[in-house]
Structure 1
Amino acid sequence: MLKLKIKNLRFSIDKKEILKDISLEVPKGSFVGIIGPNGSGKSTLLKNIYRLYKPSSGNIILDNKDLSDMKDKDCAKQIAVLAQESNSQFDFTVEQIVKMGRYPYKSIFEDYSKTDLKMVKEMLQKVGLDEYNDRSFSNLSGGEKQRTLIARALVQNTDFLILDEPTNHLDIGYQIQLMDLIKSLNITTLSAIHDMNMASMYCDYLIVMKEGKVIDFGTVEDVITSQMLKEVFGVNAYIGKNPINNKLQVSYMHVHEHVNGVGCDHVHEDGFSGVHSHTV
């Protein structure tokens, strides 16, 4: 398992600063979520980490190694990525797409081994696509494409996983299946997440971003508060405890609604009875 450390990271496009002096650490073996409104810099931060973008200044250190000094294949053996973009310029089958995750371990013209093919088969089964080997990737639904790309990331067999909105295009059943699978890997994971309840269920720590800055980092219980949701997202919310899994659960409310007439930062152990709200 790998530890990530970011020191004084800045990133600009056309002289506009997108990331502003970001410093943080992702502990080994933890599942860390990044939350924040659209345009806050979540995806841009991830793209700097997995080297799609080059930082304007600062350092990204993975287990005492600066990522900027690593070769592409060496980096791919350390970090697997599920990005938001899923466009494919060529018409590959599902199996061919997933096999690409083994590329960092292959030399030129080297064929896939029995071990490679076994890993591909196992991951396709885990994402529910074991009958899709020969299906054309371009003809898949958005959710099927997402699950294919997740399988490709997982066959890289890395100790660090980066996910950019991993549950996009997935219905709720596959969202839970995917997050359960990722959590069961027990590897260091950094993920941009837009669903507060998913973040509460699966994350160990949360990073809050706003306007290109990290404004908070801590446990789910410390970070997800009605005050934070109001200040960062501009929404009123009631936060309670799910009586089944004891995780925080967020209910969003209309602008005019308040809990007990005094706001909504109270945590109750008995769920949400009597609160008129929208649970997401």
Structure 2
Amino acid sequence: MSVVADHLSWGVKRKAIVKDVSLRVTDGETLGLIGPNGSGKSSLLRLLAGLKRPDQGRVTIHGKDIAAIQRRALAQSVAFVQQNAATETSVSVRDVVRLGRTPHRSALSGWRAADQAAVDGALARVGMTHLQDQSWLTLSGGERQRVHIARALAQSPTVLFLDEPTNHLDIHHQIEILQTVRQLNVTSIVALHDLNLAAMFCDRIVVLKDGALVASGTPETVLTEDLIANVFRVAAAVSPSPHHGRPQIHFHTGV
């Protein structure tokens, strides 16, 4: 198992945000976290990545309790892509991606061939090599997300966490980003709000409601009409897509 969470709970003051969540993620798997706004997706993702400490429970990555791992050592194997990451600094695409090598370098170490190879490889994997000299400020939203994924890949992680990486992107860029993630040779845990995208690109799906895990399994077993009605409070018809065979969700608008 790449990532194992046992009975995670976390909250702010007296409000419980994540409630007794346990899950398992296998090597190379893409796991989707879905749920209504306020269901605890982002908080759970940060607990799994070690960016928050649980009030109860623990997380292990590759069999090691992340609470006992130094942050720099954890960052050498775990990368996090936040929602709508942005900067107003006029730096090049290459310089943004170079930041991913920080956990692997000491304050006195020079730029090594291994660092350059990691950056070049990351840019190539997200199809951004041809734009490496371009200013960050000139990029489209989809291109910026690909650069942030490249920066995460430059860390040489074995586990990649992504918090709604397609938020506020048009559908073309949403599909492009998730296709990129799907093709990476890493374990990926991604929080998503679009159920059809989760069905298309995730091997398994975890559903959260009010901070608790209410369903876990393949898209075919999890994304049912009853679950969508109970968790998301909307009527929908679910049928296999004629294009990819996975569940396709048609929402009833009542119009």
Superposed pair shares fold, TM > 0.5: yes
Residue of structure 2 in register with 1:4 after alignment: 3
Any idea what the Cα deviations from partners look like across 1:148-186, whole Å, max 9, x if unmatched? Answer: 211101122211111111222433333323222222223
CA contact 1:146–1:170 (8 Å) conserved in 2: no
Bigger helix fraction: 2
Q: Is the 8 A contact 2:145 2:177 kept in 1?
A: no
Secondary structure in 2 aligned to 1:111? coil
Report how many aligned residue pairs link the two structures.
255
Q: Which residue of 1 aligns with 2:207?
A: 208
1:233 CA displacement: 0.7
TM-superposed CA distance for 1:211, in Å, is 0.3
Listed as ranges, the gaps of 5+ residues in structure 1 are 257-280
- The aligned runs of 1:60-209 (5 Å cut-off) are 60-84=59-83, 86-88=85-87, 91-138=90-137, 140-209=139-208
Q: Partner of 1:108: helix, strand, or coil?
A: coil
CA distance in 2, matches of 1:109, 1:131: 31
Identity in percent: 36
Q: CA deviation at 1:92?
A: 3.5
* Distance in 1 (alpha carbons) for counterparts of 2:180 and 2:86: 24
Deviates more, 1:150-159 or 1:217-226: 150-159
Counterpart position of 1:268: none
User: Which secondary structure does the structure 2 equivalent of 1:190 belong to?
Assistant: strand
Note the C-alpha offset of 1:232: 0.7
Q: CA deviation at 1:251?
A: 1.0
Structure 1, residues 214-268: CA drift from partner, whole Å, max 9, x if none?
A: 1111111110011111111111111111223211111111247xxxxxxxxxxxx
Q: 1:11 to 1:87 in 2, by over 3 A?
A: same
> Aligned residue for 1:24?
23
* Structure with greater contact order relative to length (CA < 8 Å, sep ≥ 6): 2
- Per-residue displacement from partner, 1:18-56 (whole Å, max 9, x unpaired)? 111111211222111001000000000111122222211
Contact 1:146 1:168 in 2 (8 A): no
Once the 2 structures are TM-superposed, how far is the Cα of residue 208 of structure 1 from its aligned partner? 0.4
- Spell out, residue by residue over 1:78-134, the C-alpha distance to the aligned partner (whole angstroms, 9 max, x if none): 211111152447553321111111112212232222332233234334434334334
Which residue in 2 is equivalent to 1:43? 42
Which residue of 1 is the match for residue 239 of structure 2? 240
Gap change, CA 1:28 and 1:118, over 3 Å in 2: closer
The range that moved more, 136-145 or 33-42, is 136-145
The aligned counterpart of 2:225 is 226
**What is the root-mean-square deviation in Å for CA atoms of aligned residues?**
2.0
Instruction: State the alpha-carbon separation in 2 of the partners of residues 139 and 54 from structure 1.
Output: 37
Tell me if structure 1 keeps the 8 A contact 2:118–2:156: no
TM-score by length of 2: 0.91
In structure 1, what residue type is equivalent to 2:157?
T
Structure 2: distance between partners of 1:100 and 1:254: 45
CA–CA separation in structure 2 for the residues paired with 1:72 and 1:255 = 50
- Larger mean Cα displacement after TM superposition, 62-71 or 89-98: 89-98
Residue in 2 aligned with 1:271? Answer: none
Letter of the structure 2 residue corresponding to residue 155 of structure 1: A
- Residue 140 of structure 1 and its aligned partner are, at CA, apart by 4.0
Counterpart of 1:55 in 2: which secondary structure?
coil
Provide the secondary structure at the position in 2 that maps to 1:18. Answer: strand
Moved more, 112-121 or 181-190: 112-121
Distance 1:15 1:235, change over 3 A: same
Residue matched to 2:55: 56
